A and B are shown apart, each in its own frame.
Chain A
């Protein structure tokens, strides 16, 4: 008994002493523990679908060039060299890239122009079904002039040529992937357990518990990363994630969510809040097709008068206040604050209940029986509002909207479903309206992925030829003036169509441990600049010294 007590005391003392000992770094140190929401499945970028996969891809692989913090996607000047040390415009449809001869794959093999050619072929291969294939469709060909020179030809002149080839393609190792059937690359161990890239970090360990450890490639051709290791941990429960950040058990959370979480981290001594422009817009989407038969128009929302009326019923400022508590902006279009469009005039719907009710009367909706709910030909104005139960932000949105619609005599059935069911209903079109968040890229052309007929994320099946023609003109524009005019036409069309009810842009607020410096977060991708972060001298934690 006495020996057991003595052993317990000794162990406790050892733990206490170990915790109290001040850590110091004699060499190359630093560990960043990133708290993810879900387990990454693959780092094969053409087929990534889980949001937590992209930061991994960006540490393991490289692009030809990288956007500057200005996020200017038009022209050739808004980029800094990465794999390509420079680029030359031979004519209006040809760009020539000179690759950095020091670039190496993590297995030591040299990275050559053939890898870039291979990458382009993979992204365009129908067997791969790359989600970004549509974004590179105007690249006609990619060829190797020699080992370190790549010639890219486009189908036509347009302003975002460099952006298309530099931003959307993460260069893949031909010597490792060439013999693998293209349709199987995403699930191959080279993409799910032991990836080989050329990025600033290489894979050290991908555990069955979801923990992923990356170690800095000290020979990275652009310079040694500032932090020696990055550990990705999956924490499914958001409360547990916040507690870990606030207590110093984790170092980074990409998105803190609403006001309570932000205030909690602001009060913490271990972490601080870092804000950056939002790459996300939130909206109430309409289903333009009938839930019962997607070949038929929706009985309510195929009528533009109804859509405009609902748009006029919403007090966006009030919704923004309720949801974001001042940490957001009212949205008027699917263009997020990170996109450089300050000069483009975007029309907006301001709340006007009288006009909304008039529009509904014009469409035949009145309260004929005095029960407080609008009706037409014996049918009440009744619809479902769908959102995933995992989102507290969308729940608050639903409550706000439901009240505004109910006050106008609309019967709304708010339906919170688990995420798996939400995705299934979106896929099958079995919903009336839905509250959604959509990420954008730095380019306005990202509107294509969600609002063009047949687009991957066009859940509401929206289709307007005039809008699509304007988007096409924007993409093909060769001057900033043409570009601006085309964008204004596109958004004016969307506005007249009341394609959706744009609600808010939620400011992105990340939580970062206080010991990290040189922290900057690019809105479209927080992890692009991680390799430049540092641990402040003297602020070391014990985990920073692992491998020192």
Chain B
């Protein structure tokens, strides 16, 4: 009997495994594109000579008459839109006015373009500048089809191109023998919301692509370590000092690869609800002391995403550690691969490597799977990802110590986001094309930080678990899709069972800022006309706190008042006016009052005016003034060496 039971169980488990295996072969995404690319890398000229066969299946439901393509590497030329913007407003790795250096020249040169079955159409390529009309920008070209592509039909483009990599800039390029090849191949735009979406490359923008499959075969110097999106499917020593390695990736919308003869490969794995995921890290030899930090952060992050948001569906994640001087390649996400960043001297108390690993892995969800349009809605990937970054870093490294954890001081992730938002809180709404922000400070402060603070503050309104549940539901609905902002807010509203449009309108579409403060607080005798002496427990006081709203952001307010008999009162104001008077007539006097006593409203720009204490405490001001005096003394002495 027992034996029979075991057999039945074994058969059932076998059947389940078979179903599971079959399910794994089912595409996770609408595979619109299939790229097959073969190229040879010349390490001396930093060029890749390649052919690309792109099969595009028209799943738009309408006929297509033209196709736009990105040529991102053409951004690294003096007259391009990217370079012009970088020079005028700065970019992530260089301040404005950094000037042009020839080593940063990059290009994507299309040698020939053929539509399979229709012949060579190279001469019909036309560069367009849909965003700014810059005739010198060659980051987007368009091709008109000889005949329309009907819905449901496929078309194949065969492109011979040469990619010339710059010395590393904006996440792509070489540094000595290291190469990070991102945005390196002619990439078709996305037909989205009824039209082609193919923006020029801007200094502040990232990317947008259709899901599909990538089969990439690269020939490069033998013994170089190679990593790429997807998994390695083959490697061959060509016997002439070169090797050819092949990779396959599916249900991804971009493909990046890296090569470096110096890196050390570290392999590990992590067990998640979706199965075992292989971790492959390409480390710089001088950075091996950061391996355990990377791994701890990565595994912790993967577990938290698995628990809170959803399963990681790919079999592998590749982590690239850029070399010294190659920091511009660091901190960047690609499907199933990301670049981190550390140094040989990285102090343990400074959690930047951990934050980078967390953030870039988080993009596997917010960009990788929920593939929002980074050109137009950067807050949807960077901002939501910054929110999960705060949550996960808090969970892994402590709420107050998740960015800096030293004896001298601490800095939390949420503190970091508040600082960044506070620097430029009202110049741009989150819902703005990434290249149209006034400057990098506003772009970072709003796109990343304001969105993170928006989600964190939402926790104080509807609860932490509800927000995470909403995000999980949003992920499940829009993974392997391209949701727009309205789809995010609608999904969240539905998941949390509330209409939060009043909130989204202010935080996403608006530039309203918030600074609630205690304007006055007092305790006066109710019988102010009486000449009898005050008597504790007998005299009745009129206690009053006036809360004033300095900004124009409407949000409910909770006030906590404490009295001298130890009693505590919490009251709520709907926040629909410029100010509100809280008043209590009781036999106790007010000793303190605090707006947002749970410290959940992180959009409030100034936490120092949120509270009032009847008794002054000079501890903090004395401490800081003491240090200020000391710094002045030391500066005096430094200058005194001239005497």
Query: Do chains A and B stick together as partners?
Result: no
Residues of B within 8 A of A (CB): none
Residues of A within 8 A of B (CB): none
